[in-house]
Amino acid sequence: MLLLAGWLMLGGVGMALPLIMPLPLSMPLPTSSAPKYAIRCADGPRVRGELSYSLTCPQLLANHWVVAIADAPELPGQAKPKTELVPAGKWSKEKSPLQRSIWTAVIPAKSAEQRQSIAVQVRYEATLRSRKLVPLADDELTPMVPPLADAEKKRYLASLGDIEPTQKDFVAWMKAQGYMRQPHESDLDFARRVFLGLRGQLSYDYQPEMDRKASAVCVAGKSDCGGLSVLFVTLMRANQVPARVLYGRWAVSARPDEKLNGVAYYQWHVKAEFFAEGIGWVPVDLASGILHDKSKEGLQFFGNDRGDFLTFHVDPALSIDTKFFGVQTVGWLQLPAWWARGIGSVHPLQVREDWKVEVLK
């Protein structure tokens, strides 16, 4: 569970050649003792989530506000996404190696009220997709899934923000716990082993200010959905399995007075997915597995996604051009990031938030 509060800054010839024929889109594989799997996808409803966010700083006299939000990406779990920021913003790419799409608005303070407060609305819309990892019978055709392009594979094996696959203490812990991929262990088999190991080893805990780096979570033995997802993804990347973290919110409206560890809860959530060769992107929700899966197998949230989650962006550590204060790195954008130029203090800071979701079709 993550919550972004915001930032304030002031101031051969003759040889017989083999016959080459095009491959079909799907084809039977040779008989093997290893089970075959595929991801079954189904389009679900198109939904719109509206985030209302306002803040008031009674001791501040601002002359400009800068607000940045994530631009929802096209992903296996969501199709044809749309993002809208009110007041209107400008589309751009953030400055990290991932160059994720964002919207940024520079808002002048034109009234006494705007000198101390700002209110924005963010609308996310997408057709959600359910996904399920299923075993195939020996006589079933296996869908042909192309491998990741080299650039994309590199992107999802890299260190970024809290994802630190080469950090010394993390690597030592990984080796001590046996989370090293074995020879001939498939992407899927390794990821399943790691998922089950972490599910039995870690616990869930939410604190707004907790350290969610992989190196911190493995030592603490507990974290929220953000830290747990980061740790899973870091283990995958450290063993050369592409993986990524998905930041967003459940596609259900916030409920009045619902709290998480004493903090008002507005459906924030973080998941993960990894790329298995020959299968594709496989969804993983470690936090839900720890909290909600009481089955003997413990795999209800491995390879299963009900299609009830809106992803705002992939991976942490977005580097944003703030216009007035240079490039600033923010951990995640489940809420708008904001900066203000002016004089005074942000304390006390009053924040209001709401999240409403409607089904469009």
- Closest to 245 (Cα-Cα) out of 213, 277, 273: 273
**How many angstroms separate the CA atoms of 310 and 329, rounded?**
23
Give CA angle at 349 (162, 263), nearest 5°: 60
Question: What tokens appear for 115 in the block?
Answer: 């000198």
Amino acid (1-letter code) at residue 166: T
Q: Which CATH architecture has domain 38-134+145-359?
A: Roll (3.10)
> pTM of the prediction?
0.91
**How many angstroms separate the CA atoms of 270 and 288, rounded?**
10
| pLDDT per residue of the chain (361 residues) written in tens, 0 to 9 | 554 444 433 333 333 333 333 434 444 444 445 679 999 999 999 999 999 999 999 999 999 999 999 999 999 999 999 999 999 999 999 999 999 999 999 999 999 999 999 999 999 999 999 999 999 998 898 889 999 999 999 999 999 999 999 999 999 999 999 999 999 999 999 999 999 999 999 999 999 889 999 999 999 999 999 999 999 999 999 999 999 999 999 999 999 889 998 889 999 999 999 999 999 999 999 999 999 999 999 999 999 999 999 999 999 999 999 999 999 999 999 999 999 999 999 899 999 999 999 999 7
Label residue 40 exposed, middle or buried (CB < 10 Å: 0-12, 13-18, 19+). Answer: exposed
Q: Where are the domains of the chain?
A: 38-134+145-359
**46 sits in which H/E element:** strand 36-56
**How many angstroms separate the CA atoms of 174 and 171, rounded?**
5
- Closest to 331 (Cα-Cα) out of 320, 317, 310, 343: 317
- Closest to 244 (Cα-Cα) out of 311, 146, 292: 311
Residue ranges of alpha helices (H) inside the chain are 112-116, 150-155, 168-177, 187-201, 214-220, 225-238, 286-292
